[in-house]
Structures are given as structure tokens and as C-alpha cells.
Amino acid sequence: MLQSDFLVTGLPGAPANSPTTYAGLLPITHDLPYVTNYFFWYVPSSNATSNELVVWLNGGPGVTSMEGMFGENGPWNIEANGTLTLNEYSWHHRSHMLYVDQPVGTGYSLDTSGVNAFSSVDAGKWFYSFLDTFYQTFPDTRKSELYITGESYAGVYIPYIANELLNRQVLSDNSTLNLAGIAVGNGLLNSTIQSNGGLDMNQVLLESDFYSKFPAVKEPFTKLVTECANVTSQKEADKFPYKCDYWEAVVNMVMDSTSGKECISTTNYNITFPCEARDSFDAMQDFFDQAAVQRALHVYDTIKKINPKFNYQLGNEINISGDDSIADPAGLISGIIASGVKVLIFEGDLDLKLGWVGMAKTMAAMEWGGERGFEGVGGEWKSYGGVAGQVWFERGLKYIRVYGAGHMVPRNQPQRGLHLLSEIISDPSPAKTINRTRVTSSFVAQTRSGARRFDVGGTAIWIGMIVGFLVQL
């Protein structure tokens, strides 16, 4: 396979002056009893001096990274009417960008095995295999510093991917992997702490003007949070309204209070819109379901051979019932920092799904560099001349809370999102304090007994304790 085989031409609706891009399916063979493919879309930087390859992953699990590419930080935005427009704040203006549908079963990365159960450890191994093949196909990218970035459930994936890359250290041709940093936005890092979603969500709403906009929601939602606080099983949850799904409860309570005329955004509770309105995510799904788009991306023949009735979905349900490693990926971050890898955690302050209260608690409980939590008080984070949030930076870990953004920071605040990319790239690398020949940790073993529930694309999968939020992006 040659780089030229993946050149994207004839993309429907692409405006003039669109960047040169490459897309298609690359095989994954390592650590699998069968051969499958990962879909990627590579956008070389418009910055001639760029020396970074930045991977972007959406979460879910099962949500395509095309949501990030066309709805957050890629070269195009897709409007509700399906029109493509150039994104002034695309991250490719700063670095080479690589969007990947992973793990198996996500987007165009079709599962050919018939069994798509996976663990986060598996996802890390599969990503290493993909990256190995990508570097062979695009050899010039080997010279670039590698950054793995993403949001939401990617907060689970990314530490495991980084851990696997640090374990391996080299590619199949014995060239060195150059992992420079990771960045997680509005991520799931500690399900034990972040699972207390109702109380945290209510605190965020109380400290905002949400209840002044929707006063009829305050009493029933507060009551639901109180009733569901000690629920530990699906059977118990079924007895309460909305089955103790706090996000679904808020969305529906807003609809009820406005007689079905007004809805709140799934990514930012400050954004409201007519409930029947078509949005850009609808347009995005239609776009990627077009045969002409699939042909331009070099996937049509393969996916139709695998599944003649293939219907593109932004989010696919993936079976995580076999995942014994998802509980608290934050436990891996200490070792990643100790390996000399930069770490940025960022959070939009208007997110209800994985809000800042739960993340602040996660940061306070996390140990790295021999200490627990941040010792100092956060300072002002300034972006493009104004105060745009708060920042903490200690012992190789930076945490930024971004004002005016929800679950998808680059979507709500695109200029600040681009600044976040510069933050992780420009930061100095932490001192390497361990000689890592292979990561060993009791962390995975410790989490095997800590089963949790996650919501996948709106479908609740119970494995044990309740998590009161919808992880979807």
C-alpha cells in the first residue's frame, strides 16, 4: 500500500481551497485471530514547520471520530443542511491530524469476526497495530512527535493506548515510537468517582442560571437525585422515573416544562433549540452514508462486501461486557507522566454528562509524582488576550477548565480549542523518572472486580454499580 492509494479526491461538497487529505482502511493483524481494518482520515498540516502528528479519538464507546473531524476540530464543519464549510480553527493549521475510527465496530471500522467484545487493553493493542501499519504507509510521519488526544470515553482509551505504546517502545521495523503527550477532554477517568453523576450534575445546575431558565425542572430533578443516590442495581433503578438516568431525566424534564417545544443540547446545557429541528449531527450521518462519499474515502467496495446492507451510524453499540479494565484509567496516568510524556486534561464548565465537579474530585483523588492532587490554587487561563478559564499545572500534569464550553470543547469554543492544542505541544516534557522497559502495574488486576455500568448510544448496559450519566461522545 502506497500513500498515494489513499489520496481523497472528488469529496462531495468540499469547498474550494480544501486541504489535501488521505483516507481509507488499514489492516490490523497484531494480537487478533483474524484480520480487520481501521478507518482513518489523515490531514497533513498547513503549517510547513509542524513536527507533530496529533491523533484525535471520540469516545462512546462506539462513536466515530468523524464527529470530531466534522463537528469540532477538523478542516471542515458540516452544517445542518449538509453544506461543508472550511473551519478557521481547524487543528491541522497547527499540526498534522489523524482521525481514527476505533476500536473494531466503530464507524467504517467494521467488525468481521462476529464477536466485537473487547477490553481497553485490547483497544490499546489494536491501536498499536494500526499505528505500525500507518507509519509504514506514511513514512514521513515517523519523524513527528506523537500526541494522542480525544474526549469523553476516550478518557478510558487514551491511557491504555499510551500504556501499550510505552510498553512496546518500538515498531515492527525496530524504529522508535516517539510518544510526546496525551490530552483528554471532558473524559471518563475514574468511574468510581464520576459515577455519582446526579449529585454532581445538580451542583453544576444550582451554581448556574439553569434553574432560573427552567424552574419547573428543579424540584423533580432534585427529588430524583435524592431517590437514586443509593441505587446499586438495574432492578432497583427500574422503580424510579427515567430508571435513574440523570441525563435523560434532565432532557425530558426540560421538554415537559416547555410542552415539547424546547430541547437542551446534548453537549452544552446552555444551548437550547426547537426539539424538531434538524442539526449538524443528522447531516453528518447522512453525509457518511452516501456512496459517493464512501468511494472518495476508498471504503465503499470493502464495506459493501462485508455488509451489503451497511448503514452508517455515528454511534454503534459495542459490547463492553468483557471489559475488565475500564474502571479507573486515571491510575495509569502517574506511570505515563513518569515516562516523560506530557499530560493535559481539559474540561468544559457547561458539561452535564461528565461535569467539572466530578473531574475536580477525580483530580483531587489522583496520585502522580509522589503526591495526591494539586497542591496549589488554580490560576487564570488566558486565551487570545482574555480570561478563558482556570489552569493548574504541577508535576507534569496540566488541568484546564474552559469557560463557556460543554462536553465538546472545540465545538463550543473553537478558538480556545485550538489554543489547547498549542498548550500540550508547547509545554515542557516532564522529567523521566523511571527507566521503562515495560510498564508493570497492579492497577489492571485491582480493577477486575470493580464492574461498572456504562450507557452506550442510549442503551444501558449494566455490569454492576450504577453510573448516572450518558457517555455518548
Q: Read off the pLDDT of residues 244-294 as tens digits, 9 standing for 90 and up.
A: 888 788 888 998 888 888 888 766 777 777 877 777 888 888 999 999 999
- Compute how many other C-beta atoms are within 10 angstroms of the C-beta atom of residue 403: 16
Report the CATH number that the domain containing residue 76 is assigned in CATH. Answer: 3.40.50.1820
pTM of the entire structure? Answer: 0.87
Residue listed under C-alpha cell 516534557: 429
Least confident of 86-100, 270-284, 408-422: 270-284
Backbone angles phi, psi at 54, to 5 degrees: -110, 120
Torsion angle of the four alpha carbons 269, 272, 274, 278, in this order, in degrees rounded to the nearest 10: -70
- The answer to whether residues 373 and 408 belong to one domain is yes
Flag whether pLDDT at 406 surpasses 60.
yes
- The answer to whether residues 209 and 265 belong to one domain is yes
- The answer to whether residues 254 and 135 belong to one domain is no
CA distance 46 to 293: 23
Flag whether pLDDT at 420 surpasses 60.
yes
- The answer to whether residues 79 and 176 belong to one domain is yes
Check residue 453 and give its pLDDT.
Answer: 26
286 in any annotated domain: no
Q: Are strands 52-57 and 145-151 parallel, antiparallel or unpaired?
A: parallel
Flag whether pLDDT at 183 surpasses 90.
yes
CB neighbour burial string for 292-315, b if at least 16 within 10 angstroms, e if fewer: ebbebbbbbebbeeeeeebebbbb
* Strands, E assignment, 235-320: 262-264, 272-274
- The answer to whether residues 40 and 130 belong to one domain is yes
pLDDT digits (tens, 9 = 90+) for 5-36: 999 999 999 999 999 999 999 988 766 666 68
* Strands, E assignment, 135-209: 145-151, 179-185
Mean pLDDT of 155-176: 92
- The answer to whether residues 104 and 188 belong to one domain is yes
Residue pair 95/52 in contact (Cβ under 8 Å)? The answer is yes
- The answer to whether residues 360 and 443 belong to one domain is yes
Residue 330 DSSP label: G
461 in any annotated domain: no
Check residue 247 and give its pLDDT.
Answer: 78
pLDDT digits (tens, 9 = 90+) for 216-253: 999 999 999 888 888 777 788 888 888 888 878 888 89
Nearest to 390 by CA among 359, 431, 425, 354: 359
Residues in the chain: 473
- The answer to whether residues 41 and 94 belong to one domain is yes
Nearest to 288 by CA among 324, 313, 316: 313
| Structure confidence at residue 460 as a pLDDT band (50, 70, 90) | very low
CA distance 150 to 416: 15
Backbone angles phi, psi at 171, to 5 degrees: -90, 180
304 in any annotated domain: no
pLDDT digits (tens, 9 = 90+) for 327-351: 578 889 999 999 999 999 999 988 8
- The answer to whether residues 114 and 249 belong to one domain is no
Residue 291, judged by CB atoms within 10 A of its CB (0-12, 13-18, 19+), counts as: exposed
- The answer to whether residues 403 and 337 belong to one domain is yes
CA distance 72 to 63: 14
Q: What percent of the chain has pLDDT over 90?
A: 49
294 in any annotated domain: no
386 in any annotated domain: yes
Backbone angles phi, psi at 200, to 5 degrees: -65, -40
CA distance 126 to 136: 16
The residue segments making up the domain with residue 265 are 195-277
456 in any annotated domain: no
| Structure confidence at residue 358 as a pLDDT band (50, 70, 90) | confident
Last residue of a domain, one of 242, 277, 312: 277
- Comparing 194 with 139, the larger pLDDT belongs to 139
| Structure confidence at residue 439 as a pLDDT band (50, 70, 90) | very low
pLDDT digits (tens, 9 = 90+) for 110-157: 877 655 557 888 889 899 999 999 999 999 999 899 999 999 999 999
417 in any annotated domain: yes
CB neighbour burial string for 141-176, b if at least 16 within 10 angstroms, e if fewer: bbebbbbbbbbbbbbbbbbbbbbbbbebeebeeeee
361 in any annotated domain: yes
- The answer to whether residues 61 and 19 belong to one domain is yes
Residue pair 147/52 in contact (Cβ under 8 Å)? The answer is yes
- The answer to whether residues 179 and 205 belong to one domain is no
Domain count, the chain: 2
Flag whether pLDDT at 459 surpasses 50.
no
Least confident of 100-109, 205-214, 430-439: 430-439
Last residue of a domain, one of 241, 259, 277: 277
CA distance 394 to 385: 23
Last residue of a domain, one of 245, 277, 309: 277
| Structure confidence at residue 437 as a pLDDT band (50, 70, 90) | very low
